[in-house]
Amino acid sequence: MTQPSIGLIGLGVMGANLALNIAEKGFDIGVANRTAETTRRFHAGAGELARRITPCASIPELVAALTPPRTIIIMVKAGAPVDAQIAELRPHLSPGDAIVDAGNANFHDTLRRDASFQGSGLNFIGMGVSGGEEGARHGPSIMAGGPEDAYARIARVLEAISATYQGAPCCAWVGPDGAGHFVKMIHNGIEYADMQMIAEVYGLLRDGVGMAASEIADVFAAWNTGPLNSYLIEITAGVLAVGDEKSGKPLVDVIQDRAGQKGTGRWSVMEAQSLGVPATTIEAAVAARALSSLRDERARAAAVYGAQQPPRLELDRSVLIGRLEAGLYAGKIAAYAQGFAVLEAASAEHQWNLPLATIARIWRAGCIIRSQFLDRIAAAFEATGGKGNLLLAPDFVAEMTNAHPALRSIVALAAATASPAPALSSALAYFDAYRQARGTANLIQAQRDFFGAHGFERIGEVGDHHGPWGAAS
């Protein structure tokens, strides 16, 4: 074993799997953890890969074990623990060394940390890693931000451990300072929307049609062979097919309907609002998770208003399933269009020059939202130079023209059968508003001018105008 130049701190599930991935790809690595016993156990359980892993009992020992210029990956809980780890590390590092935060950091924290490294001779990389523990072990999608030269020094390692799609690594430098963590945040926001729309379609099949979980599993499995082919559709089919040994029921039927969240979805909504970009489908998905957590309140509301007894849908089942597939695809297009619109706006705001086509490509494998669909998004941005809303890309214009009637139909069916579909409904409303050449904001501007003298533009005229509202009052 040669002296490694790469180290990793934090041997929880994600950190341990990432370290094993690095070792398996032929790179020597030093590792450390807050507790030395965890490090010892990890090394003892690494099997043949242990020969490429140098266990270290302390931070000074880890730094001493690495060949300069060193790159040390931090895999600890986001927030204050990252700051504490950086503060402990910095006194032991030398000019040219780099610290990589590979956790789910808020990109504002990454901006702050990057600024604190300026002029120090040290480098800070904020790196989004998607794919969960399986991805960390066998190939995640990696979105790196920070100094490009510092990334270039470890690109060979990161590309080797990342997932691949048709031979291409799902790993890239996407921009300076907080760009990597921002891209990962929006990935997670899109993930929220994708999952929520899938759950809403599941609800229509379960409550509107009366299908059993195993039957719905077959529907999703069939969809995974068509335009909706993706990791989330695949695992949905899988989880719906699993039985519960304890109750004898489908496992999904005994899981409490209260969804958790760790914050990245909320952050993505907050940043979209801050940038003035409508991301309504993502917003609806985040709100739906928050509403799901109000389990006791929902139970009281059900008692007050009476349990919902949605009527069964009278449509031919095969016709309905076809509409649901097309409608879900239309909703997916709208959600991804919103997510990439937020990325484009943030790129301009922070002067990142985010490579949107590259981002779509590195999401094609390894990450949670991986799908064939992203191939088409990458091609669309290649054609436009990474500019413009996806809904205006010629291929997607054709797709939405064909698919939005199905989305309209299933949103109407959801309303008629009391099946909540906030994300699908928001996707439809976004599409309708986006393609409406003259909307209703003219009335809002008149109202604003009436009570606040904010002024308005007149059609075909230049300048600010005010109305004679005194007569109206």
Distances (CA, A) of 158 to 76, 379, 463: 19, 24, 54
Q: Which domains are assigned to the chain?
A: 6-177 (3.40.50.720), 185-217+255-434 (1.10.1040.10), 441-472 (1.20.5.320)
Q: Which two three-digit tokens encode residue 100? A: 């990589």
Asked if 2 contacts 54 with a C-beta cutoff of 8 angstroms, the reply is no
48, 88, 159, 184: the active-site residue: 184
Distances (CA, A) of 112 to 126, 147, 449: 11, 14, 40
Provide the sign of the torsion angle of the four alpha carbons 361, 368, 423, 407, taken in this order.
positive
DSSP lists the bridge partners of residue 121 as none
37, 133, 191, 249: the active-site residue: 191
Residues in the chain: 473
* Three-state SS sequence of 82-134: HHHHHHHHHHHCCCCCEEEECCCCCHHHHHHHHHHHCCCCCEEEEEEEECHHH
Q: Which two three-digit tokens encode residue 58? A: 């302390």
Whole-number pLDDT of residue 308: 67
For residue 323, the number of C-alpha atoms closer than 13 Å in the C-beta half-sphere is 20
Distances (CA, A) of 48 to 51, 56, 246, 303, 386: 6, 18, 38, 59, 45
Q: Which two three-digit tokens encode residue 455? A: 């002024």
Q: Which residue has the tokens 């985010």?
A: 354
Residue 267 neighbours by CB under 8 Å, 6+ apart: 106, 107, 185, 189
Asked if 181 contacts 107 with a C-beta cutoff of 8 angstroms, the reply is yes
Helices (H), ranges, 351-393: 356-362, 373-384
| Helix 422-434 and helix 179-203, axial crossing angle in degrees, nearest 10 | 110
Asked if 426 contacts 281 with a C-beta cutoff of 8 angstroms, the reply is yes
- For the question of whether the overall pTM of this predicted structure is more than 0.85, the answer is yes
Q: Which residue has the tokens 């690494």?
A: 46
What is the side-by-side order of every strand in the sheet holding 98-101?
A: 53-55, 29-32, 6-9, 71-74, 98-101, 123-130, 141-145, 171-175
Query: Is 184 part of the annotated catalytic residue set?
Result: yes
Asked if 349 contacts 275 with a C-beta cutoff of 8 angstroms, the reply is yes
The phi-psi region of residue 146 (left if phi > 0; otherwise alpha if psi is between -120 and 50; otherwise beta) is left
pLDDT tens, the chain, 473 aa long: 567 889 999 999 999 999 999 999 999 999 999 999 999 999 999 999 999 999 999 999 999 999 999 999 999 998 999 999 999 999 999 999 999 999 999 999 999 999 999 999 999 999 999 998 999 999 999 999 999 999 999 999 999 999 999 999 999 999 999 999 999 999 999 999 999 999 999 999 998 888 999 999 999 999 999 999 999 999 999 999 999 999 999 999 999 998 877 778 899 999 999 999 999 999 999 999 999 999 999 999 989 988 666 666 667 888 999 999 999 999 999 999 999 999 999 999 999 999 999 999 999 999 999 998 999 999 999 998 888 999 999 999 999 999 999 999 999 999 988 899 999 999 999 999 999 999 999 999 999 999 999 999 999 999 999 999 976 55
Query: Is 191 part of the annotated catalytic residue set?
Result: yes
Residue 455, classed as helix, strand or coil, is: coil
Which backbone phi and psi does 95 adopt, to 5 degrees?
-50, 135
Residue 13, classed as helix, strand or coil, is: helix
- For residues 249 and 297, what is the distance between their CA atoms, to the nearest angstrom? 26
Asked if 411 contacts 302 with a C-beta cutoff of 8 angstroms, the reply is no
